[in-house]
Amino acid sequence: MTEIFDMSNSQTVEPSHFEAPEEEHEDDKGSIHYPRRKMKQWRLHRRWDRAGRLLGESAMEALSDTHVAVMGLGGVGSFTAESLVRSGIGKLTLVDFDEVCGTNANRQLHCLKGTYGKYKSDLMAERCSLISPECDVTGRRMFYNARTSDSLLEGVDFVVDAIDNISAKIHLLLACRERGIPVVSCMGAAGKVDPTAIMVDDLSKTHTDGLSRAVRKILRQEHGVDLSKEINIPTVFSTEMHHAPQPLSYDGTAGFKCICPTKGNNLHGCDKKRLIEGTMSFVTGTFGLVAASVVVREIAGI
């Protein structure tokens, strides 16, 4: 069935907020929801003219009927989310527990003057709703883990893994396999400067990248995943050799100084990392755009 937008009766819809219960967990801080504009029958809007001319109207309708969850909204995931909504995806769930930090400015779309300290999921949800009023967008201020997995994966048709926490990443990949949810996984984008070295292959065939090597090892040794054959997890990774981070003068002899608003949240703050990597937007953004292309091509059957 197709649905037509009743443009004459269109109106601005205020987002609805869903706050976490009083016994709030660190990894569950509520959600914000922008419902899609009401439709009678689907019809390709001229907003998607150029995409429709490339993919075809049946593919655009399939994209409109698809619910994609983007797990992680940093330098990779923020670009994935925006590319998906600009491709005509009809429903997005955007997941990130973190708040915008000044050090995000070099690579994350939601980091602008005036957004420091605000939730990344809130900001990306609002941004996506402004790009496409026909998209149902929910921002989830949550950290993906075993406790939140069922809630975050319910009703999802496709998942983008843009998580940089290895334990959460592995749990997500296993959960998607168990549920039969297609997932594209993004590996290490930090310490890289050459976007032309980025490629896509099954996780079992990834190489060079340190994060994918660690993921494969844990999946094989701790979860018994047979990686001698393809496991149907398309993976975005780089074949470029890693560039070690350089020391910066303004931290003096104290080493890296965390300025994150969420410092001390006991989750995945940079003060808990052994090493703070360097990043560039033209690499992290390309990772995100490539991941979005995997989703769109799979749904469109291209």
So what's the pLDDT on residue 41? Answer: 76
- Comparing 20-24, 238-242, 272-276, the range with the smallest average pLDDT is 20-24
- Comparing 149-163, 201-215, 237-251, the range with the smallest average pLDDT is 237-251
Q: How far from 227 is each of 152, 198, 216, CA to CA, in Å?
A: 27, 21, 8
Decide if pLDDT at 213 tops 90: yes
Mean pLDDT, range 205-228, rounded to an integer: 97
pLDDT tens per residue, range 127-153? 999 999 999 999 999 999 999 999 999
Listed in order, strand segments (DSSP E) in the chain are 16-18, 28-34, 67-71, 91-95, 136-142, 158-161, 183-186, 198-202, 234-238
Tell me if the pTM is above 0.95: no
Which stretches of the chain are DSSP H helices? 49-55, 57-64, 77-85, 120-131, 149-153, 166-179, 210-223, 281-300
State the average pLDDT for the chain: 87
pLDDT tens per residue, range 146-181? 999 999 999 999 999 999 999 999 999 999 999 999
Mean pLDDT, range 262-282, rounded to an integer: 70
Mean pLDDT, range 19-24, rounded to an integer: 42
So what's the pLDDT on residue 4? Answer: 32
Decide if pLDDT at 276 tops 90: no
Domains of the chain: 27-36+51-242+280-300 (3.40.50.720)
* Spatial distance between the Cα atoms of 203 and 213, rounded to a whole number of angstroms: 9
DSSP code for 39: B
* Spatial distance between the Cα atoms of 64 and 162, rounded to a whole number of angstroms: 22
So what's the pLDDT on residue 127? Answer: 97
pLDDT tens per residue, range 87-141? 999 999 999 999 999 989 999 999 999 999 999 999 999 999 999 999 999 999 9
* Spatial distance between the Cα atoms of 54 and 5, rounded to a whole number of angstroms: 22
Question: Which tokens hold the place of 251?
Answer: 């931290």
Q: What percent of the chain has pLDDT over 90?
A: 75
Residue 43 has a CB neighbour count (10 Å cut-off) of 12
Decide if pLDDT at 10 tops 90: no
Decide if pLDDT at 256 tops 70: no
